[in-house]
Every structure is written in C-alpha cells, then in structure tokens.
A and B are shown apart, each in its own frame.
Chain A
C-alpha cells in the first residue's frame, strides 16, 4: 500500500510571525515540519506497516528548496519526498496549493491513500484536503480521529459537533486527520542519519504541467486591501495565590451574576 502525506514546512509558530512587504507571511530562515502534519506522517507509517509493505511519500510546497521540515518527516520513516519549489509560488492561496499538491500526488505514481492534516498551523483554511480530492476526482473523508484500511476501503471516525460518524469510501481516497489521532514517534538517531540520503524530488510548477497563472498572486485572484493592528485588550488585576485567591474568583462570578 502506497500512502502520500501532504506536509507543510512553516516558520516556527513559537516565534512571533511577521508579514513581508507583499503581505504574505515571512518564510525566510529555517522552516520546521508543521506539528499538525506529524500525526499524518505517523498514521501513514502505521498503515503501510499494517498492510505489510509499500511506501510513504511526502509531498510539499515551499520557497527556496527548503527541506529541513521534510527531513524531520523522512527521519520518522517516510521513504521519499516530492518538493515543489518555485518563485512563481509566492502568494499562492488554498486553491492554488491544492492544484499543485494534486499534481504532485499524480507524480508520486501508484497511490492508494492521501493523508493531510485538517488544517495547517499558519494558514488554517481547512479547505485544502477536499480541494485536492476534488482535483483528483477522489472521495475525501475529513476530520478523521481514527483511520482503518481493509478490503480496498478506508473507514474513518469523523469528528462531528455531536460526537463522531463512521464514514467509508473505496480507495484511492483523501483523508484529513485531526491532531492527537496517533502519537507521533520521535526520529531515532539512525532515522536522522538515514533521512539525509533519502530521495527528495525537487520540481517546479512547470515540471508539474501547471501554468504560473494557476498559482501565486495571479492564481489567488484576491488582494490584501488593509492591514492594521487590532485594538489591544487591557490586562486587569493579577494576584498571587495565597490560598484564599479562589474567593476572588467566586466574588468575580457573583458580581457578574453568573452564580
């Protein structure tokens, strides 16, 4: 069984983000594997293992041929990666991303399943997985908190507001997974060493048969017309707990007539 995992390399979310002069997110410097994607990578490794063979291929889109995040996922055990890197990609929106990643999935060859995170940490539109599926003409099973493969089918537990639904479809299909579905493994030293020699197929938008007009600002067909700081919320009272501070909370709730 061959699984493709869509992964995103992002600026470290622990550091404050900033915008470039064209109002896109600054992506200079080292990028890391989006933690949301580590669950998909782990899930793919487990499914291939359970199926008794096959490959896990990563597909990713990043500026400047950035591979540091990909190396993390390769060190976890993914077999190879396709990285789409092209100056034309600056400003690409969710739909453009899906066009690129769907082509990258096709380039990966014989694929049974595509796994993606529900949403990325930095862009979080939450639309890319079904957009990829629609481009491929495949079913999409979204917000999975459990994934099983059997008899040419994928079955998931789909998170809902009220609980979860059991949803299935035949393969090939796209699945988006929520965080916490599996516990991502830490790359071993051996894995980190092996990752250095794993193949990363670096391609351009043109290599995938897409026009530069499909991606970037031109493809996004939207314009950022205003950027302004939000009104700041003021801090109130801060007190050290002296064993009696709970009474302040109770009193606060009383004043609001919550209790």
Chain B
C-alpha cells in the first residue's frame, strides 16, 4: 500500500538537479500516490522539467536570496506542511539536506531518521533501513511519531529512473519567516577546479589513506591515478582529520557513500568507518603494506605492497598505453 503524499526536498547545482534528488523522486514514485518536490533556489523554472520527468507533479519553490539554502527550506516546508499535510518528506544526506531536515524537525517537533539506505512502507508504517558497524549490521527503524515523517537518505541508495512525465508545475512559496536563522548569509562562492567526474558519480574512485605517508604524496599518487582512469579522488577519514585533504573528499560513514565500478584503496587499512562508504563498489582493489589490514577482507584484488613502489608503476604503464 502506498502513502498518499510523498515530498522530496530537491537540490540542484547550476540549474541541474542533483542525482541524489532524482534517486529520491524515483523512490517516491514507488511508495507515494502523489509526489511533489520542494526546491529552494533562484532557478526553479530551470529544474522543473527534470523534476517532473522523474516524478514530481508540482515543485514548491522559494528563492533564498543570499540566505543559507537549508534554513530557508526548513521555514518554507514548515509553512507548506500545515497546508498540504504530506505523509513523508525525503531529504538527501547532503550539506543543505541536513541543514533543512534538522531545522524542520525542531519546527514540527518530529524525529528524524538519517543515513537511510532503504525506505519501506507497510500500511501507515514507514521504515528506514541503515547500516551500522561498518556496514556489517542492517538496522530497520520505524517511525512512531505523528506525520509527516522526516528521513534523510544517503545518495546512491536508489537508482534514478525517469518516469516519463512532463515538466512539474512551479508553485511559488512566500510569506514565511526563518527568524534570526535567516541571518546566515552567503557572501561569496568559491568553485574549486575539478577535473573529471564527481566523487559520487565516478565510474572509478581512487582513494588515499595514511599509507600514502604525507600530504604532498596525494597529488602524484592518488589524483594522478584517478585522472588517468578518468575517475575521481577520495580519501579515508584519517587524512581528512589530519588536514591533508578537505572533508568533501571523505569516503565513509562520516562522509560519502560511493558505488563505482572500480574502487582503488591506496594505503587504506580499512577501518569500519571507511568500509561502510565503499563496500558497495562493484570491484575493489587494495594496495597496502600490511597484509593483515582489514581492507583485504573485502578486496577482490589485494596487493600487499608499498604504494610508493606499486602506484608509480601503474601510472607509468597507463601512460605508456595512451
């Protein structure tokens, strides 16, 4: 049995909906009779076609101006919920998604279920599945609160498939007040150059850990190999904590989930923290000096060796081919 109304908090980058948003819409179609989206951004008309194609009949849209997006989203959704009473609102476990679900949960006094990897509906019961302890244990949690239920889902949990409908109708939302929270003002945006695909969308992900030895080795080992394989570069929590690379590159429980065709772990021992973010990859290759490292327990191809010796040879061989 389906829910009567499921909402998706939609996010976009440069006028294009995030794949995480399209994944949520695809899931919403499966579990909801009516699917609608809430979008906070300047370019609602630009995203409405694609959101409609993936299942949203309507897009409630608010323009945040310079205010932090998630803050505006929470205030706008709180107002809309009163009028439209959705059963379930799905958010991506993203930066703005977490801001939005967090503030909304306080406004509505509803619990949140986060880090979801599955959503199940049975009658009025909505259950969110998560993986804990490095992905070794699967836990289902069922909402026992009033509706709407609020859930944040990790990107890559569902496939995104278009439903074939036309553009969503855009309904402007106004007349809400975020209070002092709206003071959080974006003054400047810095886009850092990125060669190749996004971490979550890449076919190949090459990640580095402590075993690469020093921050200056990240570029010639990890990034170079990723570039040659037209992939993206990631990192273990250890080297993010050490300040070698930014948080956006972190793969793991606190960080991103990736499911590429090939995941290459360089100098990563395989803490449970890391494994939960990459064990869904189709193929895993690991290079690590320590033959006892836990990463080898899930690697399809494990090389017990020094990354500083093995990786330059791979790079050389790949360059010789091109």
Asked if A241 and B306 make an inter-chain contact with CB atoms under 8 angstroms apart, the answer reads yes
In chain A, positions 151-179 with a C-beta closer than 8 Å to chain B are 155, 157-170, 173, 178-179
Interface-located stretch among A74-82, A133-141, A188-196, A200-208 = A133-141
Q: Contacts A125-B114, A127-B114, A246-B317 given: A252-B191 contact, CB under 8 Å?
A: no
Closest to A224 in B: B141
CB < 8 Å neighbour of A233 from B139, B279, B303: B279
Q: Which residue of chain A has the shortest Cβ distance to B185 in the bound complex?
A: A168
The CA of A32 and the CA of B251, in the complex, are separated in Å by 24
> Is A236 among interface residues, defined by CB-CB distance under 8 A?
yes
Contact B136 A95 (CB under 8 A): no
On whether the beta carbons of B115 and A125 are closer than 8 Å, the reply is yes
Q: CB-CB < 8 A to B313: which residues of A? A: 246
Contact across chains for A163 and B191 when beta carbons are under 8 A apart? yes
Chain A residues closer than 8 Å to B272, beta-carbon distance: 13, 16
Q: Chain B's nearest CB lies how many Å from the CB of A245?
A: 5
Inter-chain contacts of A140 with B (CB < 8 A): 71, 99, 103, 181, 184
Which B residues lie within 8 Å of A223 (CB)? 141-142, 144
B residues less than 8 Å from A178 (CB atoms) = 240, 246-247
Q: Is A119 an interface residue (CB 8 A)?
A: yes
User: How far does the Cβ of B60 sit from chain A's closest Cβ, in whole Å?
Assistant: 21
Minimum Cβ distance to chain B for residue A90 (Å):
16
| CA–CA, A118 and B254, complex, Å | 9
A16 CA to B272 CA in the complex, in Å? 9
A133→B313 CA distance, assembly (Å) = 51
Given the contacts A124-B254, A131-B103, A162-B194, A142 and B95 also touching, CB distance less than 8 Å: yes
- Cβ contact of B102, chosen from A130, A145, A165, cutoff 8 A: A130
Selected from A127, A159, A250, the residue in CB contact (under 8 A) with B112 is A127
Residues of B within 8 A of A126 (CB): 93, 98, 102, 114, 254
Given A229-B136, A239-B304, A247-B317, A165 and B285 contact (CB-CB distance below 8 Å): no
Q: In the complex, how many residues of chain A place their beta carbon closer than 8 angstroms to a beta carbon of chain B? A: 87
- Nearest-neighbour CB distance to chain B for A32, whole angstroms, equals 15
Q: Which chain B residue shows the least CB distance to A16? A: B133
Residue of A nearest to B280 (CB): A233
Give A223 to B125 CA distance when docked, in angstroms: 11
Confirm or deny: A66 has a beta carbon within 8 angstroms of a beta carbon on chain B. Answer: no
B318 touches A259 (CB 8 A): yes
Known: A159-B95, A179-B241, A235-B299. A93 touches B137 (CB 8 A): no
Chain A at the B interface: SS class: mixed
Residues of A within 8 A of B317 (CB): 246-247, 250
B241 engages A139 (CB within 8 Å): no
- Please measure, in the bound complex, the distance between the C-alpha atom of A3 and the C-alpha atom of B203, giving whole angstroms: 44
Q: Which residues of B contact A161 (CB under 8 A)?
A: 13, 94-95, 198, 248
* Interface: A129 (CB within 8 A): yes
> Residues of B contacting A238 with CB < 8 Å?
291, 296, 299, 302-304
| Interface check B309, CB cutoff 8 A | yes
Per-position contact with B for A221-246: 1 when CB-CB < 8 Å, else 0? 11111111110110111111101011
Within 8 Å by CB of A138, from B180, B229, B248, B261, lies B180
Which residues on A sit within 8 Å (CB–CB) of B192? 162-164
Q: Is B33 an interface residue (CB 8 A)?
A: no
Taken residue by residue from 141 to 158, chain B's Cβ proximity to chain A (1 for < 8 Å, 0 otherwise) reads as 111110000001000000
Task: Decide yes or no whether A53 CB sits under 8 A from chain B.
Answer: no
Among B13, B127, B185, B242, residue most surrounded by chain A Cβ atoms (within 10 Å) = B185
Q: Bound complex: CA of A258 vs CA of B285, how far in Å? A: 13
Answer yes or no: B164 CB below 8 A from chain A CBs.
Answer: no
Chain A 82-134 residues near chain B, CB threshold 8 A = 93-95, 98, 118-119, 121, 124-131, 133-134
Whether, in the assembled complex, B131 has its beta carbon less than 8 Å from a beta carbon of chain A, the answer is yes
Q: Which residue of A lies closest to B145 (CB)?
A: A221
Rounded to whole angstroms, the CA-CA distance of A124 and B252 in the bound complex is 11
List 6 additional contacts besides A237-B300, A241-B310; criterion CB under 8 Å.
A131-B102, A137-B180, A158-B186, A238-B303, A240-B304, A246-B317
Report B's interface with A, CB cutoff 8 A: 13, 68, 70-71, 74, 93-95, 98-99, 101-103, 105-107, 109-115, 127, 131-133, 135-145, 152, 179-192, 194, 198, 203-204, 229, 237, 240-244, 246-248, 253-254, 261-262, 264, 271-273, 279, 283, 285, 287, 291, 296-306, 309-311, 313-314, 317-318, 321
- A binding-site residues for B, Cβ under 8 Å: 13, 16-17, 19, 23, 35-36, 39, 93-95, 98, 118-119, 121, 124-131, 133-135, 137-143, 145, 155, 157-170, 173, 178-181, 183, 220-230, 232-233, 235-241, 243, 245-250, 252-253, 256, 258-259
A-B contacts, 12 of them at CB < 8 A, read A125-B98, A161-B198, A163-B191, A166-B188, A166-B189, A179-B240, A222-B143, A239-B302, A241-B287, A241-B304, A249-B314, A258-B261
